[in-house]
Amino acid sequence: MAIERTFSIIKPDATARNLTGAVNAIIEKAGLRIVAQKRILMTRAQAETFYAVHKARPFFGELVDFMISGPVVVQVLEGEGAILKYRDVMGATDPSKAADGTIRKAHAKSIGENSVHGSDAADTAAIEIAQFFSGNEIVG
């Protein structure tokens, strides 16, 4: 399988509970390498752009409000089959359906406050990485 990069966000519910290191430990134990990382407060415009695909969904406003409610840690993760691997490591969007050993099973509070985001495909990973990182900020 090819070496890929995926985009990750440690969301405000997790940073508020001081779980950045706990989430990163799960990521690294799964064999993914954190090749870029920064802690930011997203602007409303950044969050609306990032989640534009969900604009028509009833939870869009709530989702944007949540994502700008506190610090997030944006990351680029690298590894063999990183996109699918990270989705496995995160677990299901709804933490009540997430498998044992996943980040969301261990830490997520609800379907909205679900601790982490990960790209769903190679094209979205490239777009999401480019929204938050310039090339020289990613060091593999």
Give the binding site for ligand CMP (CB under 6 A). Answer: 54, 59, 62-63, 93, 111-112, 114, 117
Please report, as a single letter, which amino acid is at residue 24. N
Residue 108 C-beta: closest distance to ligand CMP, Å: 9
Q: Is 107 a catalytic residue?
A: no
For residues 129 and 136, which CB has a smaller minimum distance to ligand CMP in the complex? Answer: 129
Rounded to whole angstroms, the Cα distance separating 97 from 104 reads: 9
Shortest distance (Å) from residue 136 CB to ligand CMP: 26
Point out the catalytic residue in the list 47, 86, 117, 125. Answer: 117
Residue placing its CB nearer to ligand CMP in the complex, 81 or 112: 112
Catalytic residues: 117
